[in-house]
A and B are shown apart, each in its own frame.
Chain A
Amino acid sequence: MKDEARIGKPMRRTDFDDKVEGTAVFTADMDLPGMLHAITLRSSAPRAQIARIDLPALPEGYFYVDHRDIPGSNVMPSPILDQPFLAAGRVNYVGEPIMLIVGPDRQVLSDILKDARVHYLEERPVLSIEDAEAATGGFIYADKPYFVSYEYCKGDFERAAEEAAFFIEDEYRTGYQEHAYLETQSMLASFVDGNVTVYGSMQCPYSVKESVQAALRLGPENVRVVQLPTGGGFGGKEDYPSIPAVHAALASMKSGRPVKLVFDRKEDIISTTKRHPCRIRIRSYIGREGTIVARDVDVSTDAGAYAGLSSVVLQRLSFSVCGAYDVENLRVRSRAYATNKCVSGAFRGFGGPQAFFAVEMHTEHIAERLGRDSLALRRSYFLEQGDTSSTGGLLSSPIRLGEIADALEKTSGYSVKRALYSNSAAREKRMEGCPTPLKGIGISMFFHGCGFTGSGEKDTLKAKVKLKKNKDGTVEILASCAEIGQGSQTTLRKIVARALDIPVGMVVHRYPDTGRCPDSGPTVASRSVMIVGRLLMDCALEMKGRWKEEDFEVTRSYTYPEGLCWDNDKFQGNAYPEYSWGGNVVEVEVDPLTFEVKVTGVWGAYDIGEPMDDRIVAGQIDGAVAQGLGYAGMEVLTVEAGRVLQDNLTTYAIPTSVDFPRTVACLIPNPYKEGPFGAKGLGELPLVGVAPAFAAAVGQAIGKRILRLPVTPEYIMRLMEEEAEDGF
């Protein structure tokens, strides 16, 4: 197709002007007449009963709001029902919301908060996966130390393991990652005559709506949720915003005034969700011919105080942890442990980054043990069309892993550099203490399942969209997709305009408002373009056939593509409707004096089907790679005695403009027949494989195997000292 005619040809983003001019109204910028502010009193104990709370007397016009003010359910709607909106008698993590202080003057609110005193009867907290494993009683959740425990198999694992010649085993650890969206959690609610409208920063308007309905005991017709421009989400505004939304709504209900709740950075970091820390043990069984015949994986995640989305994160992690490789016999067991720490949850990649770090580093180890080049080893196990996934689902679309690897070779010169940097003469020279940087290069191959896991799209979400033709010939998209910076308002418009063959300017797409937009599902799981975009395309095609009609609406609901199946009890079948695939190469220099890592090159090659807008795609890749490099080596978040130590953006360091070079990225075209104009998922894919490529590069530079994330200079030093002690 000619370049001019491609849908991917970049266009000016429709959410651009107001953002750059500073006129976009984010939640903190919004003001309603008579509006009050709220501030949150939070737990300072990791696990305790609340004995009593001493509160100062309130000036007129000020209110306290606690769990007794909740007319409906004080349990957040989640896959597992355990998290209160406001603590009722006990707290399970530092930062857990206990009550709200509401009033007109933020100075006064701050003074009252300072004088409020919570008296705790502290209990022994569970602070790590190991703590949880060792516990025999005093559980946080029900009668067991974990929220969920899964197991699935493929092939004949037992027999293959028994017949293997030997096995190679590793244990990997990954740390927390904080989303660090630039805009903190923010909500504004206005309760008038039994109806509440909630405006705010969010990814999932309908999840917020469900929570507000449940907590305020209101019917669906009485709760309206409107997304405002949202300053970054990355999963951090998937389920969490329901909590501040309910808080603001309760406060508005009690005070009779609109109430705005904007988190401080510190409370945002200590109280909101994070990427799950985890421990992954992988054992690969090697047959007599040196082939990988079976794999046994044991995954444990640190889920924090409440279940949140830990069950579904763990599923995605477990389904991804065998990598982009065809290994016939598998056993994967996994658990999400309850600990008295902030709740782990959704974060771009949703378990994928942990899974691919483990399996890719393990692949490096296998190659080393078998004396094979790690890329050649990978190539010989690449999944191909017609193979089955880890859960036995048929991979019916073409898979272009080989082309992805070829593209990476071509752009990065991976193999030549890899050989050069492992040249033994060069190694010896630097072992003499010569302070030239230690160079290394690493590769990773990965995928991301597009859309909800398992049968979620079909059984849970059942996405609905509406397309409305107006008299003036404009067409409006009505869906609950949130624009969180990823460009969905632009890409979805392009899809509709292309299907209707009208100028993009004729298509309207406002921020979602549950009062007008049907529930097209949450803005998560790299599903907006592939799932919602497809439904909108179908609406548009129907609309095109009826174009002569003056004004009308077309609606569509999700239909499960033919040929897919999923057994949610046995975890068998197609875990995802389709996959996006990718590879990364990262090149580094390790400073022999400070052990700091300088990234000297980053390359990526991705199969996302068809790009809907080249510039938006490039932006998603650039941003995800930076976030992935932050996760890989820079972003350290430690929880000591239940307290987050890095609780601001000074101590929790995210990448700045001077830390990493530009990513050299290319796309491998591979249109997906069920996606709109061939598109698959994009948003998460470019993050999931960054850390293993980085870690493999550092590993080569220092001649050691990397077993944990983040790969800090302190960790590198420790590994290199082990080397010295070994007399290597």
Chain B
Amino acid sequence: MDSKVRFKLNGEHVTMTADPLRRLIDVLRDDLGLTGTKEGCGEGECGACSVLMDGRLANSCLLPLAAVEGKEIVTIEGFRKTKRFELLKECFTEEGAVQCGFCTPGMVLAAEALLSADPHPNERAVRDGISGNLCRCTGYSSIVAAILAASKRGEGLW
């Protein structure tokens, strides 16, 4: 049974008329064409489907659409328009933090959530901050280095 769900998506107010029990990831990908959000496990384990909900990292495969009523959701499509993204992108390339790329959008959003809460994390905090985002290619070290570099170079951004 469809109903209306209102929320803010990438800075714009949207009203979705859809089955509110459907997962946010399906609504984002199938209805809105926002395919930067990936499905890796469907169980909140891998973080490929990460989005920001009210500025915090959340797994869009664990959210029924009804649960985002009144919330602010940011996907990679929204975040990639920001200065913070530009810096993270540069640091990710300089450290070689992308291989197959499937985890990358989620990983970038995890970095954003982490740096918003703690602009100057140490390595331990960075590792903790991305511990819900699985990557099978890089062994994480380059990703950790990229986030630390962004924190160092991003004075005033976060």
Contacts and interface: CB of A to CB of B under 8 A. Distances in A.
Contact of B45 (A230, A622, A624, A649): A649
B130 interface: yes
Contact of A649 (B101, B134, B141, B144): B134
A660 to B, nearest CB: 7
Contact of A182 (B103, B128, B143): B103
B46 A21 contact: no
Interface in B63-114: 75-77, 80, 89, 92-93, 95-96, 98-105, 108
Nearest to A630: B136
B139 interface: yes
Contacts of A484: 100
A19 interface: yes
A619 B138 contact: yes
B42 interface: yes
A265 B61 CA distance: 13
B100 A232 contact: yes
Interface stretch (B32-40, B52-60, B150-158): B32-40
B48 interface: yes
A301 interface: no
A20 B96 contact: no
A38 interface: no
B117 interface: no
Interface string B14-51: 00000000000000010000011111111101101000
B80 to A, nearest CB: 5
A233 B46 CA distance: 17
A4 to B, nearest CB: 17
Nearest to B133: A657
Contact of B100 (A485, A624, A625, A655): A485
Contact of A29 (B35, B89, B135, B138): B35
A613 to B, nearest CB: 9
Interface residues of A, number: 56
A713 interface: no
A232 B128 contact: no
Contact of A21 (B45, B48, B76): B76
Nearest to A23: B36
A654 interface: yes
Contacts of B103: 182, 231
B92 A20 contact: yes
A30 to B, nearest CB: 9
A365 B59 CA distance: 48
A55 B95 CA distance: 53
A694 B142 CA distance: 22
Given A21-B80, A657-B143, A648 B130 contact: no
A13 B98 contact: yes
Given A485-B101, A615-B96, A650-B43, A622 B76 contact: no
A713 to B, nearest CB: 20
A172 interface: no
A19 B92 CA distance: 11
Nearest to B26: A106
Contacts of A265: 40-43
B101 A24 contact: yes
A486 interface: yes
Contacts of B89: 17, 20-21
A182 B93 contact: no
Given A22-B36, A29-B35, A662 B141 contact: yes
Which has the most chain A C-beta neighbours within 10 Å: B48, B138, B143? B138
A484 B100 CA distance: 6
B43 A619 contact: no
A184 B75 CA distance: 21
Contact of B96 (A21, A29, A618): A618
Contacts of B36: 21-23
A28 interface: yes
Interface in A467-522: 484-487
Contacts of A15: 101
A626 B135 CA distance: 10
Given A615-B96, A622-B142, A663-B141, A232 B42 contact: no
B137 A232 contact: yes
Nearest to A269: B41
A12 interface: yes
Given A21-B80, A22-B77, A231 B101 contact: yes
B100 A181 contact: yes
B127 interface: yes
Given A618-B96, A658-B128, A649 B40 contact: yes
B99 A486 contact: yes
Nearest to A264: B42
Interface centre among B130, B132, B139, B143 (most CB of A within 10 A): B139
Given A16-B93, A229-B101, A654 B43 contact: no
A287 interface: no
Contact of B102 (A26, A615, A624, A660): A26
Given A180-B136, A622-B139, A648-B43, A230 B100 contact: yes
Interface in A26-75: 26, 28-29
The 4 closest A-B pairs by CB, nearest first: A22-B36, A19-B101, A485-B100, A231-B102
Interface of B: 29, 35-43, 45-46, 48, 75-77, 80, 89, 92-93, 95-96, 98-105, 108, 126-128, 130-144
21 contacts: A10-B96, A13-B96, A16-B92, A16-B93, A20-B105, A26-B102, A28-B38, A182-B134, A231-B38, A487-B99, A616-B96, A618-B96, A622-B138, A622-B142, A624-B139, A650-B43, A654-B134, A655-B140, A656-B131, A657-B127, A657-B130
